[in-house]
Structure 1
Amino acid sequence: MRTMTGTSQATDLGPEPGLHLEYCGEWFTVLPGETFSVGREADLAIDDNPFLHRRLLQVSEFEGLWLLANVGSRLSVTVTDGAGRLQSWLAPGARLPLVFGRTTAVFTAGPTTYELSIYVAEPVFSETHPAASEGTTTIGDDVTLTVSQRQLIVALAEPLLRRDGTGLGEIPTSVRAAARLGWATTRFNRKLDNVCDKLDRLGVQGLRGGVRAYATNRRIRLVEYAIASRLVTRADLPLLDLKTDEE
């Protein structure tokens, strides 16, 4: 395993075989036959956050195919292709093949959300035109949000959207996010219910804890999904200062 600091683009890494990870502007190369871990005390030690597993993620090669495994015991990881079109929720103990040229992993430990990118030198699949297939959602075509619903998501995701060269951010509480928008907390929670209902009907996991109950960490899951799927981007930040008459 080799470390390269200050490389800004995957194309700078050259045609060498293997897998490349990028976090906060630092690049790591994993060669065939090697195993690489991510966590609090791992090959990539991303933070001393006590809520973060010592080892959460692990990448390794098996018969020519790179695999991403969740080796933690509590935290789930949102994994998406580079364009944010196909998404999976990687539970503890699960693993999946890295078949795209770029894969994004987003996860939350305590109050902090992290994002890292994984590049495969020789991907199995190449990205073409956006398309939805069975079991997947094409963001933008199937998700229709009102302006106020999008404002709510941007308010929750603002720390991650505004990050400058870092792959982490702290998700605000509902009270703080409501205040950021100038809304009453009751209005914010009602809008949050509506957004979670809409995405839950589209098959987004983790927003409900049961048939009638919302998941206790739905804000976290909503931000993970929105960031990984590019449901909101930095271009949406001006919405935070937009006043609407929506209720």
Structure 2
Amino acid sequence: MSSVDAARTRDGVSVEYCGEWFSLEADTVFSIGRDADLGIDDNQFLHRRFLEIHYTDGLWWLSNVGTRLSATVSDGEGRVQAWLAPGARLPVVFSTLVVIFTAGPTTYEFTVHASQPTFSDSGLGEAASGVTTVGAVTFTPSQKLVILALAEPMLLREGTGMSELPTSVMAAKRLGWASTRFNRKLDNVCDKLDRAGVQGLRGGLTSYATNRRARLIEHAIATRIVTRIDLPLLDAPQNED
């Protein structure tokens, strides 16, 4: 068995970040943050201990022990998605759990692997309160370009890791649009997802513009609204919807 295979199977659960694997022990708590077992990044916007993975009551759990940041969590195929707010926890019930979060100008992604998942494909949507099956939301071509322009740095990244969060001005420039047009389209995208039940895209006054862009990128990547194969659309001729 290779070292990677061993890391994935030992004790049932392992974490992968930037090609590095961490094997978890059932009798210890594994922490993720700025100064933790998995030191994500020396980012002042990131909690010293943001997330924890631990074994309790016969299940592995992912808990948000921070006070400000939230994380977007999805199964490996992007079919179910949950928003893990401060103080919330979620059972690790799928074979692969993708965790995405944003701290300041940077978005991060790591994966949790379970060798003996509680739920298979037939159990999707039954895992826990707060986990919802991803439904189809239809976007116009220009709305999809808005999402792509914001998600491009993360889609270009290989594997798990970090990427910079574009500003609306940067994304508008990438598309060759005026900022007013971009922001109007972004409002439409957020309204559409908010009506579909996606949390974190409406409400709140502090850093709202940054927060909704981060949440939109996290959701779009986690649920595969956009993928790497969509990136050529950014350079294709554009038509009005």
TM-score by length of 2: 0.90
> 1:102-134, CA deviations, whole angstroms, 9 ceiling, x for partnerless residues?
111110000000000001121100124988999
Pairing 1:1-247 to 2, within 5 Å after superposition: 7=4, 13=7, 15-128=9-122, 136-139=132-135, 142-209=136-203, 215-216=208-209, 217-246=211-240
- Secondary structure at 2:132 match in 1: coil
- Contact map agreement 2:11 2:23 (CA 8 A) in 1: no
The runs of 5 or more residues in structure 1 that have no matched partner are: none
Amino acid of the structure 2 residue aligned with 1:160: M
CA contact (8 A) 1:206 1:215 kept: no
Distance change >3 Å, CA 162–CA 87, structure 1 → 2: same
Query: Could you say if the C-alpha distance between residues 80 and 14 of structure 1 is closer, same or farther in structure 2, counting changes exceeding 3 Å?
Result: closer
Distance 1:178 1:72 in 2: 33
Give, as a single letter, the amino acid of the residue that structure 1 aligns with 2:150.
L
Distance 1:132 1:233, change over 3 A: farther
Residue pair 2:71, 2:85 contacting (<8 A) in 1 also: yes
Please state how far the C-alpha of 1:54 moved relative to its aligned partner.
Answer: 0.2
Higher percent of residues as helix: 2
Structure 2 unaligned segments of length 5 or more: list them: none
CA drift of 1:233 comes to 0.6
| Preserved contact between residue 132 and residue 138 of structure 1 (Cα < 8 Å) | no
For residues 126 and 56 of structure 2, what CA distance do their matches in structure 1 show?
Answer: 29
